[in-house]
Chain A
Amino acid sequence: MDDAVTRSYEKQAESLMGALAGTDELRAQAIKDFAAQGFPHAKAEDWRYSDLRALRAEAFEPATHAGEKPEIPAAMTECAARFVFVNGRFSESRSDMGDLWQAASVRPLANHFMANPDRATELVRGRDGVGLLNTALVKDGMVISIPAGVEIDDPVEIIHIMTNAADCAAHTRHIVELGEGASAHIVERFIGDDLAYWTNSVLQARVAEKAVLHHTRLQEEGMNALHTSKTHVNVDADGQYHATCLSLGGKMARFEAHVRMMVDGANATVDGVALTGTGQSHDTLTHISHSMPHTTSDQIFRTVADTRGKSSFQGKVTVEKDAQKVEADQSFKALVFDRTAEANAKPELEIFADDVKCSHGATVGELDEKAIFYLTSRGIDPKTARQMLVEAFTAEALERVENDDIRTAMTAKVNAWMAARASK
């Protein structure tokens, strides 16, 4: 990697010293490790389907406040609160705190560490260059702590907007904590303009005993954007984590979900749909680690790749030694629209216990001509027929979105994406 790039990031990290109480040491170590290893190379196993040349070529400057007022997207449903981040910075004036603050502790990262500098060690450090850089350059984020027994019914939206931020990056870090028996639905949205910016976001969550966390991600970055985001979740006894991710935007978008099933009875579902259009690359990596017995997980992923699109999925399930009675399933299906499109899959099982039931299935193909024929013979025009089939194809992966309005909105986005593909 270009030394100038490394130096630039070192300088950025230096300037952030003192920004978040208690984190300086962690930041210093992260940038040191980053300088040593750089961004993941195309030959790095986990990154074989993503091209990070743009990141290696030049350093992305820290994004500044937007000059103009960005438009805030309408909420998909009634929300308990909406937190808006513009170019990586929390914008209190644009946010709607609702009445969430009455039931839960909600504050920006800086305030959180000001009050608890000793909790800086809880930050997930990251292993590859992308994750390390988030730790080294993090400035802002939301800390949402739901106390034991509190159930937040309406979703909480975190909206990331990138505007006027050409060649700039935003490194945000959100922390979600659910106390015993608590429940919440976090909706993360990513939008931006057509400039070449970089969103590098991490959300880390702790789901305590019997707590239920729903996590919906809607990625609609601009078509020249780089998007890398990671989710790190630990699930305790009988806790549940349900994630659904819809990826639409970005020139190169990469999403990682790392879920650890920490105690007996933990359950996780991680689903997603990626619709990859012209010249886009969508790469999803999941790693569900069953460290304890009697934990279960299920994953459903569907991708559609159009002209010159590249959609990739790497899903890994690890069952550690003595984690008996684990059940883990995974299903990946990809549609490829034409000969310039590409679908890659690497469903991986890593199993060190014997009394387990693990499976994965993966298929790649095109839309079923017979099904199209069936529909058209019943008077449906071919375009609508295709749209219906794609809707049905993706429906399974969106089914577990718990909020009806949000699920409907996501389905509408799938249909809009298909509608924009006139000839398909």
Chain B
Amino acid sequence: MAGTAEAQKQVEDVTGEYKYGFVTDIDMDMAPKGLSEDVIRFISAKKEEPEWMLEWRLKAYQAWLKMEEPDWAKVNFPKIDYQDSYYFAAPKKKDGPKSLDEVDPELLATYEKLGIPIREQEVLAGVEGAAKVAVDAVFDSVSVATTFREELKKAGVIFMSISEAIREYPDMVKKYMASVVPVRDNYFAALNCAVFTDGTFVYIPKGVRCPMELSTYFRINAENTGQFERTLIVADEGSYVSYLEGCTAPMRDENQLHAAVVELIALDDAEIKYSTVQNWYPGDKDGKGGIYNFVTKRALCKGKNSKVSWTQVETGSAVTWKYPSCVLAGEGSVGEFYSVAVTNNYQQADTGTKMIHMAPNTSSTIISKGISAGKSQNTYRGLVKVLSGAENVRNYTQCDSLLVSSECGAHTVPYIEVKNPTATIEHEATTSKISEDQLFYCRARGLDEEEAVAMIVNGFCKEVMQHLPMEFAVEAQKLLGISLEGSVG
């Protein structure tokens, strides 16, 4: 059918040709292959960590050894051999760059090629008058550059790699790290605790509205490595921050594991907006290679009237398995989750969210859009839970799936668990393809088939796309290969 073929092409345009699949040739420092206490000691020593950090890692490692790899998600992949991977890979550096000028030009070129504004004077290509974005660039296991630090410092905002934060703000890191995602939370989180190599730490002080968008750009480059980073964002009372995350990796035939942990903490009246455009290498047309993206993301709305909003555009990875969640512990706190997940070829995505309503007058919104093409499997899995003490909880959930091939699968698995009568919980889900009627309607008004499909797919994703910050919307728009009718921003 023509319409389906068009839609298929659209999605292929998005995911079919991977534009970030090049490899940067650079001298690397690697830990010995495999995972053991010695490797963890090696990582810890490399990062010049304090003793408590090493102990914490070793404890996590011991916990991980006793845990079993979960298998409940609707994804299939060969068993991961955790000994057949490198857990630390960092570009060789002489004395550690003090400023951007000292960063290896090869690295700068890499980021330039990826379109990441690692030089402070630059703004995102293609956006006239775009706001400044501070970037923390993570290359394999280490953060290679963090921009606009001085300017942020003036506002009191701490924005640095987590390794630095462990050295410079140990109390804060000790206080908040693993307070949202406990070490033993799940198999991959425990593994991350043991071997995490870098990531981003953000602290927004009381009453501060972060003057610019913060972002971390993750790049896996080395072969056979896993990337394990941690992001920790603390928004103090009345503060606001918008944080962006992007990721790419070279094309390789082997599968690489990316198991990150992201923790967000919002205190009274604080707001965190967390946006992700996930574009890891998805594997080739036959499902060979690609990243396993097993990430634990959780936000704690700790303070009264705090708010956390997750927006994600998932187009990459061979296997995605993640559920950005909100624990609504502060009275009147708000959790939001907006997601577009596109899968093609042999990609598999099992993603969704959890909204745990613990406090009264909390509300949450979930909008999830899944588009599956090729032979891919796309699953929404989500939980809305209302504890008995949480009065007047409000939740609205909508998950829609669009199927654009007869060989793909779209699945919806929502869980609703309510223990309080005053809760109002609504859930809607639909699964359909682009209907002949819709196509006919558009074509009757003079659009050609391609435009019609683009418009319909656009409309399908619009509710999510409009929640992306403008800087990211551009990238997401490019990713979806579809114009967004200027509704973004």
B421 touching A321, Cβ below 8 Å:
no
Cross-chain contact of B431 among A322, A349, A366 (Cβ < 8 A): A349
Kindly specify which of B14-22, B160-168, B296-304, B407-415 makes contact with the partner chain: B407-415
Do A324 and B406 contact each other (CB < 8 Å), given the known contacts A45-B72, A347-B427, A364-B425?
A: yes
Kindly specify which of A86-94, A269-277, A333-341 makes contact with the partner chain: A333-341
Q: Which residues of A contact B433 (CB under 8 A)?
A: 354-356
B388 touching A346, Cβ below 8 Å:
no
A336 touching B420, Cβ below 8 Å:
yes
Is the C-beta of B106 less than 8 angstroms from some C-beta in chain A? Answer: no
Contact residue range for chain B? 35 or more
A362 touching B409, Cβ below 8 Å:
no
Is the C-beta of A379 less than 8 angstroms from some C-beta in chain B? Answer: no
Q: Which residues of A contact B423 (CB under 8 A)?
A: 336, 364-366
- How far apart are the CA atoms of A334 and B406 in the complex, in Å? 35
B419 touching A363, Cβ below 8 Å:
no
Cross-chain contact of A365 among B388, B389, B406, B425 (Cβ < 8 A): B425
A354 touching B415, Cβ below 8 Å:
no
B429 touching A360, Cβ below 8 Å:
yes
Q: Which residues of A contact B72 (CB under 8 A)?
A: 45
Chain A residue, CB-CB nearest to B380: A349
Q: What sequence of 0s and 1s flags, for each residue 342-356 of chain A, a beta carbon within 8 Å of any chain B beta carbon?
A: 111111111111111
Shortest C-beta distance, B324 to chain A (Å), equals 20
Q: Which residues of B contact A29 (CB under 8 A)?
A: none
Chain B residue, CB-CB nearest to A324: B406
Is the C-beta of A77 less than 8 angstroms from some C-beta in chain B? Answer: no
Cross-chain contact of A359 among B417, B421, B424, B430 (Cβ < 8 A): B430
Do A350 and B411 contact each other (CB < 8 Å), given the known contacts A342-B417, A355-B433, A366-B421?
A: yes
Cross-chain contact of A352 among B409, B413, B419 (Cβ < 8 A): B409
Is the C-beta of B405 less than 8 angstroms from some C-beta in chain A? Answer: yes
Is the C-beta of A142 less than 8 angstroms from some C-beta in chain B? Answer: no
Q: Which residues of A contact B406 (CB under 8 A)?
A: 321-322, 324, 353-355
Is the C-beta of B76 less than 8 angstroms from some C-beta in chain A? Answer: no
Chain A residue, CB-CB nearest to B433: A354
Do A341 and B419 contact each other (CB < 8 Å), given the known contacts A321-B407, A350-B411?
A: yes
Cross-chain contact of A349 among B410, B416, B424 (Cβ < 8 A): B410
Is the C-beta of A358 less than 8 angstroms from some C-beta in chain B? Answer: yes
A336 touching B431, Cβ below 8 Å:
no
A364 touching B418, Cβ below 8 Å:
yes
- How far apart are the CA atoms of A298 and B195 in the complex, in Å? 50
Q: What sequence of 0s and 1s flags, for each residue 373-400 of chain B, a beta carbon within 8 Å of any chain A beta carbon?
A: 0000000000000101100000000000
Shortest C-beta distance, B224 to chain A (Å), equals 34
Is the C-beta of A361 less than 8 angstroms from some C-beta in chain B? Answer: yes
- How far apart are the CA atoms of A45 and B74 in the complex, in Å? 13
Cross-chain contact of A354 among B388, B403, B420, B425 (Cβ < 8 A): B403
Contact residue range for chain A? 35 or more
B417 touching A351, Cβ below 8 Å:
no
Is the C-beta of B44 less than 8 angstroms from some C-beta in chain A? Answer: no
- How far apart are the CA atoms of A360 and B432 in the complex, in Å? 12
Number of A-B contacts (CB under 8 A): 124
Chain A stretch 350-386: residues in CB contact (< 8 A) with chain B: 350-366
Chain A stretch 135-162: residues in CB contact (< 8 A) with chain B: none
B425 touching A363, Cβ below 8 Å:
yes
Do A345 and B415 contact each other (CB < 8 Å), given the known contacts A338-B421, A354-B403?
A: yes
B409 touching A361, Cβ below 8 Å:
no
Q: Which residues of B contact A365 (CB under 8 A)?
A: 421, 423-425
Cross-chain contact of A347 among B404, B410, B419, B429 (Cβ < 8 A): B429
A346 touching B425, Cβ below 8 Å:
no
Q: Which residues of B contact A45 (CB under 8 A)?
A: 72
- How far apart are the CA atoms of A156 and B404 in the complex, in Å? 46
- How far apart are the CA atoms of A291 and B186 in the complex, in Å? 36
Chain A residue, CB-CB nearest to B397: A362
B430 touching A342, Cβ below 8 Å:
no
Do A344 and B416 contact each other (CB < 8 Å), given the known contacts A336-B421, A350-B411, A366-B422?
A: yes
Is the C-beta of B351 less than 8 angstroms from some C-beta in chain A? Answer: no
Among A334, A338, A340, A352, the most chain B Cβ lie within 10 Å of the Cβ of: A352
Among A334, A337, A343, the most chain B Cβ lie within 10 Å of the Cβ of: A343
Cross-chain contact of A343 among B404, B416, B431 (Cβ < 8 A): B416
Cross-chain contact of A363 among B389, B405, B427 (Cβ < 8 A): B427
Shortest C-beta distance, B346 to chain A (Å), equals 14
Chain A residue, CB-CB nearest to B408: A354
A351 touching B409, Cβ below 8 Å:
yes
A354 touching B405, Cβ below 8 Å:
yes
Shortest C-beta distance, B6 to chain A (Å), equals 14
A339 touching B428, Cβ below 8 Å:
no
Do A363 and B421 contact each other (CB < 8 Å), given the known contacts A349-B412, A354-B433, A356-B431?
A: no
Chain B residue, CB-CB nearest to A314: B415
Do A342 and B431 contact each other (CB < 8 Å), given the known contacts A351-B410, A353-B406?
A: no
B414 touching A347, Cβ below 8 Å:
yes
B416 touching A351, Cβ below 8 Å:
no
A-side interface residues toward B, CB under 8 Å?
45, 321-322, 324, 334-366
Write 24 A-B pairs (CB below 8 A) sorted by A numbering.
Answer: A336-B421, A337-B421, A339-B388, A339-B419, A339-B421, A340-B419, A342-B417, A342-B418, A345-B417, A346-B413, A346-B416, A350-B411, A351-B403, A354-B403, A354-B404, A354-B408, A354-B433, A355-B433, A356-B403, A359-B430, A362-B427, A363-B425, A363-B426, A363-B427
Given contacts A334-B418, A339-B419, A342-B419, 19 further A-B contacts (CB under 8 A): A321-B406, A336-B421, A339-B389, A340-B388, A344-B415, A346-B415, A346-B416, A348-B412, A348-B414, A349-B413, A349-B429, A353-B403, A354-B405, A356-B403, A356-B431, A359-B430, A360-B428, A361-B426, A364-B416
